[in-house]
Homo-oligomer: A and B are copies of this chain.
């Protein structure tokens, strides 16, 4: 039995990425009903909103689901209280070490799976009692670290005993198969779910993902040490220009205020922040969350069968 499926209680070893302002109860319910682990992104939201989204998921499916909590959120304690009261099955976390919350979460019957971008943090969260880790490569969308998935997954897998779930660069069966070869025991997929029928992001945002190419994303904010991967649009170019000119950080912050909502809700994909993974170039059509999950694993199986002989057959011996 795959350890990730065992921990998550899902049919497939896949977690939906916690896209801030996007991943609500509708998307989480569709992913969970489709055999994966749907995630409500609580970053930037208040307790009442979160409670409402949890209710939405439970009305639509009795399958397990999760909530992602950004540890830098000013109301992190409130959000922790809500997931404990609601006895959410899984909590994933971003931006640090959730160690101090793990005892309380475990007491409420909640399993904790932190998202990490380095070996050091993976080891720290394992010691703190995490059930698994999501190792997120720099090709992922939104807030990112520096190590790529090819470099990060095997190094984290060597460093911890808990299962590693690979995130960053996984949008088709090839990515799923590669993640397993690298030492992952599951995958987290964000960008491909952005275009799920059940994803409530603006249509213009979905269209931008579908027409993206390999070179369409860029990391802004590298000069501040807090890089964010977005589609290269007017806003992103403006930010990069300001960073290059070594402009005042307050000026950049002001330019960025409200831009995620502008893209997600208003569909302004020129001056809004269109967060996306580098793998958007492989995302070519809108589908239901269930279709996406089934296609990912069906493709991965075919790839194992077709490709595992390639290497050996290459040998002249």
Contacts and interface: CB of A to CB of B under 8 A. Distances in A.
Contacts of A313: 1-2
Interface in A162-211: 168-170, 172, 174-183, 185-186
A178 B169 contact: no
B155 A148 contact: no
A138 to B, nearest CB: 7
B245 A307 contact: no
A236 interface: no
Interface in A228-250: 244-246
Given A279-B151, A300-B311, A310-B185, A244 B215 contact: no
A312 B176 CA distance: 12
Contacts of A278: 146-148, 151
Nearest to A145: B215
A152 interface: yes
B215 A311 contact: no
Interface stretch (A4-12, A45-53, A69-77, A99-107): A4-12
A282 interface: yes
A213 interface: yes
A308 B313 CA distance: 17
Interface string A74-113: 0000000000000000000000000000000000000000
Contacts of A38: none
B152 A150 contact: no
B155 A169 contact: no
Interface string A270-306: 0000000111011000000000000001001101110
Nearest to A5: B314
A119 interface: yes
Interface in A217-267: 218, 222-223, 244-246
Contact of A155 (B5, B245, B277, B282): B282
Contacts of A151: 139, 169, 214, 277-279, 281-282
Given A146-B215, A169-B151, A215-B119, A5 B316 contact: yes
Residue from A146, A151, A156 whose CB has the most chain B CB atoms within 10 Å:
A151
B214 A147 contact: yes
Interface of A: 1-2, 4-5, 10-13, 118-120, 137-139, 146-152, 154-156, 158, 168-170, 172, 174-183, 185-186, 213-215, 218, 222-223, 244-246, 277-279, 281-282, 297, 300-301, 303-305, 307-308, 310-317
